[in-house]
Every structure is written in structure tokens, then in C-alpha cells.
Structure 1
Amino acid sequence: MSEVAAWYMDDSSEDQRRPHRLDPDEPVSLEHLEKIGVFYWKLNADIYESDPELQKIREERGYSYMDIITIHPDKLPNYEDKLKMFYEEHLHLDDEIRYILEGRAYFDVRDKNDRWIRIALTKGDLITLPAGIYHRFTLDETNYTKAMRLFVGEPVWKAYNRPADDFEIRQKYVQSLKCC
């Protein structure tokens, strides 16, 4: 498992597709991400259709459903609206699992002190965000990614925009942070 590129974000409101690093930079380690329930693997995206490592992860974690989405102005209907929607802070009642097959993207997640952490994803990066974590998604300035979306059972697309603190899964997630 290699190291993921992640850092605390600045408060700038300029283009969401820019890196938004603090000055000085404040990197975030994989160990820190794992403490807030975010897990990461580096795989060989060139062989995703037959990759035994991906198959093993899917079997161990029960990821029975998958599809592939291409996010680019020429490939995704209502691209601008979808990108805006993906970037609204929200949570899900199930884990969010994404595997970058091509291109680049960012997931932003809230830490236990409610600070934004930006996670830069490139080809071969597989990430899981726990149910109940506040997060958002955007592309970088290349405006392109192709990603595999994985689910346990049937896909659930429902996002609950913040505030969504009354959901039991959110309360369970927040409780899980108290131990660490």
C-alpha cells in the first residue's frame, strides 16, 4: 500500500478544482485518514477487469455491485450541474467506494474537528469513505476522471446535504471518532 496525497485545505473560495493547499502545507497521512474511517489502496488500473487484488478487496468487503462513470464535459450529461451537486457537502447512509481508472479527482472529507482534508486521487487509487462522514467530490483542473463505483448490494445514490446530523449513521460515525 503506497501513500496517498492528502492535506488540510485553505479557506479560499476560488475555483474548487485547484489544490487549495495551506501555506505552509499541512499534509495528512494515510494513518490519520484511517483514524477517521477513510481507507485507501493503490491498484493497477490497467488490469481492473481481471485484477486479483481488486477481486480480493471486493470479496473481503462485500462489494457485489459496480459500474463505471466518466466525468467530463463531453461525456456526462448536465456536467456542470452534476459537478456542482457532487461538491455540495453531504453524507451517505452507506460507504462510498471509488476506484479511479483514468484521470484525476479530489475527495474532500471533514476530520473530527470539522476541518476539510483534500484527498488527491489519480489512476489506480481506490478509496472508501465511511457512511456518515461529511464529504464532497470534484475534479481537478483537467476536468476528467473515469471511476468505478462499488457498492455492497444494490447501488444507493441518495446524498443527504449538511446538516444531516440527526441520522443514526451520522451519530454512529461521530461516536466512532471519540475513541481515537
Structure 2
Amino acid sequence: MRAFVRSTPPVEGVNDTVLGDTSQPVSAEEISALGWKLFTFGTDAQGQEKFNAMAKSQGYPEHDALNLDFSRIDEVQQLKEISDKLIFSNTISPKEPFFLALSGSWFTDIEDTINNRWIRLVVTAGDGVLIPSGALYQCAVSEADLKQISVLLRLKVDELSVHTFNDHYISGKDAEKHPSRATYSKSLGQ
């Protein structure tokens, strides 16, 4: 997984798939200081077992992880709603999403309020990311690449399904006002 400083912040409502690499790399330690946790698990059965063991150690419920296969986006309305939220809007989740990319690749733009910048994280198959509750981010992926993406996802909820999943992502102006956003900012000393 690699990360770098974006040359400009993401624009609400725009799926910005241009790489935009400023050649200013961002270290895993800098991302960790923002509360994000990055892992490399692999996509085979052993990698998925490591992901599930890590999820358990982080306090995630023992139910199965939700497999979001975006190749079915044209068939499943909830997948379309989820992708629209994550791609076209600044988003937060109060439930600390933890995912393992099984296939495909995309960008996740992370707001770095400590250094007043945005970081572009390049996520590829085998990467695991734990997103802190209240952190603002936006994803970017080309339409062709979207249908190649499959992820295992865990949220800190009792019941996880595609139907309940969509409710655990808050986007747009509601994201800025959500109580978990204030809690996240305080955790960064702001």
C-alpha cells in the first residue's frame, strides 16, 4: 500500500480517478497518527484467517464478515447506494469499518487535519484498512475498476448485512455534523 499527499483536496460530487501523485510520500506512521491502521494480509484463505483474527483482537463481533462484491452493482441496489456514498461524497462511519480488499484497487482520500492536507491512499488486493470512527474520507475508482472490487468488511455492530451496512455510512454535510466527527477531532488534539 502506498500513500502520498494530494495536490488538491477531493471535490464533493466528483469521482476523481486521476492519480494526482505529488511525489510527496506519506509514511504509515503519519497515517497511524490519524488513527488509521494499515495491514497487508493477502487474499488467500490464510490471509482471510489473519484478517478475521485481527478483527477479533480489535473487538469486532464474531459474526461472518460481509463480502461486498461490486461486480453485482448493476443487480443490487444497495451496492449502488453504498458506492455512490463512498465515491461521490466526503464520508464518515461511526462504526469503525475494517476491511480486507480481496480484489480490485481504488483510492481512498484521507483528511489530515493535523497537517491541513489530504492524503491519497492506494488500496490494492490483500490490503487491510481499519478506518477510525469519525474520520473523513472519500473513495475514488473508475467505473470499470469498480466492478472488479470485492471486499470483506466488518463493522462494530450486532448484525451486519448489505441492508444495515448502508445506514452506517454518513456522507455530505451530515458527516461534518455527526457526533463521532467531534470525538475523532478531539482524539487528534483538536
- How many residues in Structure 1 have an aligned counterpart in Structure 2? 171
Q: Distance in 1 between matches of 2:84 and 2:166?
A: 16
Q: Distance in 2 between matches of 1:137 and 1:129?
A: 12
Aligned residue for 1:62, secondary structure, equals coil
Partner of 1:152 in structure 2? 156
Q: Structure 1 residues 75-84 or 105-114, which shifts more?
A: 75-84
Say if 2:106 and 2:140, in contact at 8 Å, map to a contact too.
yes
Q: Distance in 2 between matches of 1:170 and 1:70?
A: 28
Say if 2:85 and 2:91, in contact at 8 Å, map to a contact too.
no
Tell me, yes or no, if structure 1 residue 5 matches structure 2 residue 2.
yes
Say if 2:3 and 2:27, in contact at 8 Å, map to a contact too.
yes
1:49 Cα offset (Å): 7.7
Say if 2:15 and 2:141, in contact at 8 Å, map to a contact too.
no
1:82 Cα offset (Å): 5.2
Q: Distance in 1 between matches of 2:84 and 2:153?
A: 19
1:102 counterpart letter in structure 2: S
Tell me, yes or no, if structure 1 residue 132 matches structure 2 residue 121.
no
Partner of 1:119 in structure 2? 121
Q: Go from structure 1 to structure 2 and tell me whether the alpha carbon gap of 1:162 and 1:48 turns closer, same or farther (over 3 Å shift).
A: farther
Partner of 2:43 in structure 1? 45
1:100 Cα offset (Å): 0.4
Q: Distance in 2 between matches of 1:56 and 1:98?
A: 13
Which of these residues, 155, 161, 166, is aligned with residue 171 of structure 2? 161
Q: Distance in 2 between matches of 1:177 and 1:95?
A: 16
1:119 Cα offset (Å): 0.8
The answer for unaligned runs of 5 or more in structure 1 is none
The answer for unaligned runs of 5 or more in structure 2 is none
Q: Distance in 1 between matches of 2:183 and 2:52?
A: 29
Identity rate of aligned residues, in percent? 17
Which of these residues, 60, 63, 69, is aligned with residue 60 of structure 2? 63
1:145 counterpart letter in structure 2: I
Deviations 1:26-73 (A, max 9, x none): 11110000000110110121115862x22320211122241111224x
Partner of 1:30 in structure 2? 28
Partner of 1:91 in structure 2? 92
Q: Distance in 1 between matches of 2:97 and 2:30?
A: 18
Deviations 1:68-117 (A, max 9, x none): 11224xx2126776544322112121112121011112211100144221
RMSD of the TM alignment (CA)? Answer: 2.6
Q: Tell me the TM-score normalised to structure 1 length.
A: 0.81
Q: Go from structure 1 to structure 2 and tell me whether the alpha carbon gap of 1:122 and 1:80 turns closer, same or farther (over 3 Å shift).
A: same
Aligned residue for 2:18, secondary structure, equals coil
